[in-house]
Amino acid sequence: MRYSGFKVFTEGLFGNKGWKPAWRDPAPKAEYDAIIIGGGGHGLSTAYYLAKNHGLTNIAVLEKGYLGGGNVGRNTTIVRANYFLPGNSEFYSHSLKLWEGLEADLNYNVMHSQRGLINLFHSDGQRDAFARRGNAMVNQGDDAELLDRDGVRALLPYLDFEQTRFPIYGGLLHRRGGTARHDAVAWGYARGADQRGVDLIQNCEVTGIDVENGRVTGVQTTRGAIRAKKVGIVVAGRSSQVAAMAGLRLPIESHILQAFVTEGLKPVIDHVISFGMGHFYISQSDKGGLVFGGDLDFYASYAARGNLPMVEHVMEAGMTLMPMIGRAKVLRSWGGIMDMSPDGSPVIDRTGIDGLYIDCGWNYGGFKAVPASGWCMAHLMATDQPHEVARRFTLNRFATGDLLDEEGTGSQHNLH
């Protein structure tokens, strides 16, 4: 079924009785050509591009819960391509280009809104750093504009420009940055993969990975054994646990990142705003809620909830930047389990086991990377060669020292 405005209109006339399920609910087969462990954004996009770009359709996505129930539905929905280092810059640039054509490609409204992202800076040093970043973005083929204080005030008049502790010097404007509806991204990729013959199997937890003579042969699940010649591990914050089933030890720590949303308000924040001195970022959803977040909780955990000191820290940063939000009521908060790498950059690579591939280490960048991650992981699994824009995302760089430390904070997981 193809979605369109006309279809919505006609279904409304006839009681909405003609809609069909967006995807099937198949039972797992005994064998597939490839298995993707993880039914989140990255896993679903990998399956979609394996089918679309490489013609592989005998594929299963195995999800222990429901599709889109993990980090893809537990984030602040920001989409951007404002990276600085070669290796990261071209990858996220490729991802943003995929975002811009995603709705037409999937025939699904993912509510992609290129409302613009503004990174504020608060010192001469930060201004110089953002000028360098902006030049790198432009050289990569993306957009960037350096705004002075008056330029920021013209776009964001509601910020506190009178504070002296963290004075606003200006900002870096990335007009093609913005947001998308996180759940819709998962649903769109799930529907697209299903239409191309991929089996999406929910409530099917992987409990073991079968390896014989150095090669993967399948997986053990709560719904029985499934054979496959290729297996991709795409499980975000659970990467270390699932990789351990194959005897692998990953350089990944899992940390909690909290996010918050307020009651619905009239439109006030037209952009995505990032506070340069408090690691606070905020946007306004289409329903009117202010969606915001901040730092990690700074201790390793697999619990999808955070602690109150970090709640206070995030609220303090928000109040420092724009005191007006102190009158808004916070409706709910949630936590995502972040797969943090030592250098803050991801891994899309083969493992030491033939036929077993890993996609992990997304840190704060997971949601914005969903299209390119799936594109590159699918290329790797289909051809056994890394895609050009992901060639630096190797697993062995942590042994060789060829790191991609975007923030220059050193090899400490929770600082990225």
Q: What pLDDT, in 10s, does the model give residues 66-104?
A: 999 999 998 999 999 999 999 999 999 999 999 999 999
Is residue 246 assigned to a domain?
yes
Average model confidence (pLDDT) for the chain?
A: 95
Residue type for 145, please? E
Where does the pLDDT of residue 278 fall: very low under 50, low under 70, confident under 90, or very high at 90 and above? confident
Distance between CA 82 and CA 137 in Å, rounded? Answer: 6
Domain boundary among 289, 319, 340: 340
Mean pLDDT of 96-124: 97
Asked if residue 328 has pLDDT above 80, the reply is: yes
CATH number at residue 142: 3.30.9.10
Between 200 and 414, residue with greater pLDDT = 200
Based on the domain organization, do 61 and 190 belong to the same domain?
A: yes
Q: What is the pLDDT of residue 416?
A: 74
Q: Which residues pair with 117 in a beta bridge?
A: 174, 272
C-beta atoms surrounding 361 within 10 Å: 30
Q: What is the pLDDT of residue 64?
A: 97
Domain boundary among 340, 370, 402: 340
Based on the domain organization, do 225 and 293 belong to the same domain?
A: no
For residue 126, give the 3-state DSSP assignment: helix
Q: What is the pLDDT of residue 152?
A: 98
The tally of domains found in the chain comes to 2
10 Å CB burial of residue 57 (0-12, 13-18, 19+) is: middle
Is residue 102 assigned to a domain?
no
Token couple for 26: 């198949």
Q: What is the pLDDT of residue 306?
A: 85
Q: What is the pLDDT of residue 1?
A: 85
Asked if residue 384 has pLDDT above 80, the reply is: yes
Based on the domain organization, do 187 and 147 belong to the same domain?
A: no
DSSP letter (8 states) at residue 354: B
C-beta atoms surrounding 213 within 10 Å: 6
Is residue 57 assigned to a domain?
yes
CB of 92 closer than 8 Å to CB of 372: yes
Q: What is the pLDDT of residue 408?
A: 78
CATH number at residue 65: 3.50.50.60
Q: What is the pLDDT of residue 277?
A: 87
For strands 31-37 and 224-233, give the pairing: parallel
Q: Name the residue range of residue 216's domain.
A: 17-77+183-251+343-415
Based on the domain organization, do 118 and 222 belong to the same domain?
A: no
Based on the domain organization, do 229 and 278 belong to the same domain?
A: no
Nearest to 232 by CA among 103, 54, 392, 78: 54
Distance between CA 359 and CA 94 in Å, rounded? Answer: 17
Asked if residue 411 has pLDDT above 80, the reply is: no
Based on the domain organization, do 42 and 169 belong to the same domain?
A: no
Distance between CA 182 and CA 167 in Å, rounded? Answer: 33
pTM of the model: 0.96
Based on the domain organization, do 242 and 367 belong to the same domain?
A: yes
Q: What is the pLDDT of residue 247?
A: 97
Where does the pLDDT of residue 414 fall: very low under 50, low under 70, confident under 90, or very high at 90 and above? confident
Based on the domain organization, do 205 and 169 belong to the same domain?
A: no
Mean pLDDT of 204-229: 98
Each as own residue / partner, the long-range contacts of residues 296-300 (CB below 8 Å, 24 or more positions apart, any chain) are 296/255, 296/256, 296/257, 296/338, 296/340, 296/414, 297/255, 297/256, 297/257, 297/258, 297/335, 298/255, 298/414, 299/255, 299/414, 300/253, 300/254, 300/255, 300/413, 300/414
Asked if residue 415 has pLDDT above 80, the reply is: no
Interior/surface letters 275-295, b for 16+ CB within 10 angstroms, e for the rest: bbbbebbbbbbeeebbbbbbb
Q: Which residues pair with 358 in a beta bridge?
A: 233, 349
Q: Which residues pair with 350 in a beta bridge?
A: 357
Q: What is the pLDDT of residue 413?
A: 82
Tokens 């506190």, residue located: 160
Is the four-CA dihedral 217, 220, 226, 230 of positive or negative sign? negative
For residue 149, give the 3-state DSSP assignment: helix
Distance between CA 412 and CA 346 in Å, rounded? Answer: 14
Is residue 406 assigned to a domain?
yes
Report the range of poorest mean pLDDT among 208-222, 240-254, 289-303, 383-397: 289-303
Q: What is the pLDDT of residue 127?
A: 97
Q: What is the pLDDT of residue 303?
A: 87
Q: What is the pLDDT of residue 371?
A: 98
Distance between CA 111 and CA 155 in Å, rounded? Answer: 23
Is residue 98 assigned to a domain?
no
Q: What is the pLDDT of residue 358?
A: 98
CB of 272 closer than 8 Å to CB of 319: no
Q: What is the pLDDT of residue 406?
A: 86
Distance between CA 293 and CA 274 in Å, rounded? Answer: 10
Q: What is the pLDDT of residue 304?
A: 82
Domain boundary among 309, 340, 371: 340
Alpha carbon distance, N-terminus to C-terminus of the chain: 43
Could you report the per-residue pLDDT of 350-366, keeping only the tens digit for each? 999 999 999 999 998 89
Q: What is the pLDDT of residue 305?
A: 83
Q: Which residues pair with 293 in a beta bridge?
A: 259, 281
Mean pLDDT of 138-153: 97
